[in-house]
Amino acid sequence: MDLLQENRKTEDKAKKWPQLVLIVILILIAIGSIYAKKYYDERKEANMAATAVRPLPTVTVVPAVETDLFAQKEYIGKVDAIQSVEVRAQVVGEIMKVNFKEGSIVKVGQPLYTLDARKYEATVTLRKGQLAQAKADLDRAEKFFARLKNADERSVSKADFDSAESAVMQALAAVEQANANLRLAMIDLGNTVIRSPISGRIGATNFTKGNYISATSGALATIVQMDPIRVKFSMPDKDYLNQLAIFKENGSVYNTTLKLSNGDVITASGERDFEDNQMDQKTGSMSMRIRFNNPEGLLIPGSMVRIATKQVKSQLVIVVPQTALLADSASDYVYVVDSDNVIKKVEITLGTEVGSMREVTSGIKAGDRVVTTGIQNIRPGIKVNIAEPAEKTTASLASQSEADNNIVSDANGKDSVLSDDKSEPVKKEGN
Q: Give the pLDDT confidence of 105-136 residue by residue, as tens digits.
A: 999 999 999 999 999 999 999 999 999 999 99
Co-location of 302 and 320 in the same domain: no
Q: Phi then psi for 223, rounded to 5 degrees?
A: -120, 130
Q: What is the pLDDT along the chain (431 residues), one digit of tens a residue?
A: 555 556 565 666 555 666 666 777 777 777 777 767 766 777 766 666 555 556 888 999 999 998 876 656 788 999 999 999 999 999 999 999 999 999 999 999 999 999 999 999 999 999 999 999 999 999 999 998 888 887 777 777 888 778 888 999 999 999 999 999 999 999 999 999 999 999 999 999 999 999 999 999 999 999 999 999 999 999 888 888 877 877 777 777 888 888 898 888 888 888 888 888 888 888 888 898 999 999 888 899 999 999 887 665 667 789 999 999 999 988 999 999 999 999 999 999 998 777 788 889 999 999 999 999 988 888 999 999 888 654 444 445 545 545 554 444 444 444 444 333 333 333 344 43
Domain end position, chosen among 291, 310, 329: 310
Question: Is residue 332 domain-resident?
Answer: yes
Number of domains in the chain: 3
CATH number, residue 355: 2.40.420.20
What are the residues facing 59 on neighbouring strands?
386
3-state secondary structure of 395: helix
Co-location of 288 and 323 in the same domain: no
* 312 Cβ contact list (under 8 Å, min separation 6): 242, 243, 245, 246
Co-location of 153 and 259 in the same domain: no
Full residue range of the structural domain in which residue 128 is found: 88-223
What are the residues facing 369 on neighbouring strands?
63, 337
Question: Is residue 215 domain-resident?
Answer: yes
Co-location of 214 and 116 in the same domain: yes
CATH number, residue 267: 2.40.30.170
Co-location of 384 and 268 in the same domain: no
Domain end position, chosen among 192, 223, 254: 223
Q: Phi then psi for 246, rounded to 5 degrees?
A: -65, -40
Co-location of 254 and 212 in the same domain: no
Question: Is residue 236 domain-resident?
Answer: yes
Angle at 181 between CA 180 and CA 185, to 5 degrees: 115
pTM above 0.75, yes or no: no
Distances (CA, A) of 259 to 271, 286, 364, 395: 17, 21, 33, 26
DSSP structure string for 325-360: -EE-SS-EEEEEE-TTSBEEEEEEEEEEEETTEEEE
Question: Is residue 139 domain-resident?
Answer: yes
Co-location of 185 and 232 in the same domain: no
Question: Is residue 38 domain-resident?
Answer: no
Question: Is residue 176 domain-resident?
Answer: yes
Co-location of 100 and 198 in the same domain: yes
Angle at 229 between CA 225 and CA 231, to 5 degrees: 135
413/74 Cα distance (integer angstroms)? 11
Q: Phi then psi for 39, rounded to 5 degrees?
A: -65, -45
- If we measure between CA atoms, which residue out of 256, 250, 329 comes closest to residue 299? 256
Question: Is residue 191 domain-resident?
Answer: yes
Co-location of 117 and 187 in the same domain: yes
* 318 Cβ contact list (under 8 Å, min separation 6): 64, 65, 66, 359, 360, 361, 364, 365, 366
Co-location of 137 and 156 in the same domain: yes
Polymer length in residues for the chain: 431
CATH number, residue 178: 2.40.50.100
Burial 386-412 (b: 16+ CB within 10 A, else e): beeebeebeeebeebbbebbbbbbbbe
CB 292, CB 228: distance < 8 Å? yes
342/339 Cα distance (integer angstroms)? 7
Co-location of 114 and 217 in the same domain: yes
Question: Is residue 198 domain-resident?
Answer: yes
Co-location of 239 and 172 in the same domain: no
* 334 Cβ contact list (under 8 Å, min separation 6): 320, 324, 325, 326, 345, 346, 348, 360, 363, 364, 370, 371
Cβ neighbours, 10 Å, residue 133: 13
Domain end position, chosen among 223, 247, 265: 223
The gap from C-alpha 204 to its chain's centroid, in whole angstroms, comes to 28
Residue 291, CA atoms < 13 Å, CB-side half-sphere: 12
